[in-house]
Amino acid sequence: ITNYERTVDVGAGSSCPTDSAYQLKIHPGWNMIGNPYPFSVLWDDCSISSDSVGILYYYDPIDGYQLYWNEFDPWKGYWVHNADEDTVIISVLPRQSGLGKQSSSSKKLYTQIASDECLIRFSAHTEAAKDLDNFAGMKEDAAFSRDLYDQPEPPPVGEYVSLFFNHSDWKKHSGRYAVDIQEMNDEGCVWDCAVETRVSNEDVHISWEFINDLPDGWEAYFVDLEDGYSKN
C-alpha cells in the first residue's frame, strides 16, 4: 500500500486448472474462503464431505451479512462454518454459473417452510450498521436442539450490530445463532434473542417480517426482559 505513484511488477500468474474440482480444506470453526476460479460458480454445485458445513455467508459492507448465498463470485471473500472437530473438504466444480444471479438471500430457507409452519425474519440496524438476516421458526421435522436448520451467527466485522439467538444452554454446539428453527408443538416456542453493537450513541432499531402466517389461534409477542415491555 502506497500513496506514491508506483508501478509494481508481481510477475506472471496462473489460474487453477479446470479439468477437475478444486478442493478447499475447511477447519473447525469459522473459515473465510474464496472462489478458486476466475468465473462465477454456484454454491449448490459444490460437493461437501460433511453436513457439519452448512450455508455460505456473504458480507456486504452496506447491508451486512447475507445468509444462504448461492453465487460464488471470484475476487470476493465468503464465510463458512464447520461445526465438526475434523477438517471438511469442499469440492468446487469448475462449472460456470448462468447469467441469472441469485442476488436475494434466504431463498433456500423460504422454500423449506410449509404453509402450516412458521418463519419470522428479524432485522436490526443503526445508522452505521445492519444485521438483516436472522430467522426464528417452527417446522414439523425440526428439533429443540441443534439440527441442520440452525445456522450460527457469523463473526462481527467493523462497526457492527448483531442480533442473535442465544443457545449457551446447549450441551453440544452451544453459542449464538442467526437461524433458530424449533419443533412444532402444541405449547408454543420461546426464542432467547439478544442484540449487541459497537456503534456508540445510536439507537438500534429492531423489526420483523412474517414470511408466512402463524397457525390458526396462535400469536407472537416480542418481550423486553429488562423492562417487561411486550409487543404483539
83-121 tens-digit pLDDT: 999 999 999 999 998 755 444 445 678 788 888 889 999
**Based on C-alpha coordinates, what's the Rg of the chain?**
20
Between 200 and 31, the higher pLDDT residue: 31
Q: Are 184 and 140 in contact (CB under 8 A)?
A: yes
Q: Which whole-number Å values give the CA distances from 10 to 7, 17, 35, 76, 172, in the listed order?
A: 10, 21, 21, 20, 47
- Give residue 56's pLDDT band: very low, low, confident or very high (50, 70, 90): very high
Q: Name the grid cell of 67.
A: 445468509
Buried residues in 173-201 as b, exposed as e (16+ CB within 10 A)? eeebbbbbbbebeeeebebebeeebebee
This prediction's pTM: 0.87
CB atoms under 10 Å from CB of 3, counted, come to 5
Give the start-end residues of each E strand in 126-174. Answer: 130-139, 151-152, 161-167
Percentage of the chain beyond pLDDT 70 is 96
What is the per-residue pLDDT for 103?
46
Residue 168 cell numbers, joined: 449457551
Integer angstrom CA distances of residue 73 from 25, 90, 103, 185, 216: 18, 16, 11, 41, 43
User: For residue 8, is pLDDT > 70?
Assistant: yes
The band of 82, judged by pLDDT with boundaries at 50, 70 and 90, is very high
Over residues 172-194, mean pLDDT:
92
Q: What is the pLDDT of residue 12?
A: 86
pLDDT over threshold 90, residue 50 = yes
Burial class for 58, CB neighbours closer than 10 Å (0-12, 13-18, 19+): buried
Residue range 3-12: average pLDDT? 88
Buried b (16+ CB within 10 A) or exposed e, 128-167: ebbbbbbbbbbbeebeeebeebbbbbbbbeeebbbbbbbb
**The pLDDT of residue 106:** 52
Lowest mean pLDDT among 49-58, 65-74, 100-109: 100-109
Q: Which three cell numbers stand for residue 223?
A: 418481550
Residues 137-161 pLDDT 10s: 999 999 888 898 999 999 998 899 9
* Mean pLDDT calculated for residue range 74-81: 94
Residues 137, 181 contacting (CB under 8 angstroms): yes
Distances (CA, A) of 13 to 10, 39, 76: 8, 16, 18
What's the mean pLDDT in 157-178?
A: 92
SS3 108: helix
Q: What is the mean pLDDT of residues 44-73?
A: 92
Please measure the distance between the N-terminal and C-terminal CA atoms of the chain and give it in whole angstroms: 53
Find, among 131, 130, 134, 132, the residue nearest to 120 by Cα: 134
Average pLDDT of the chain? Answer: 90
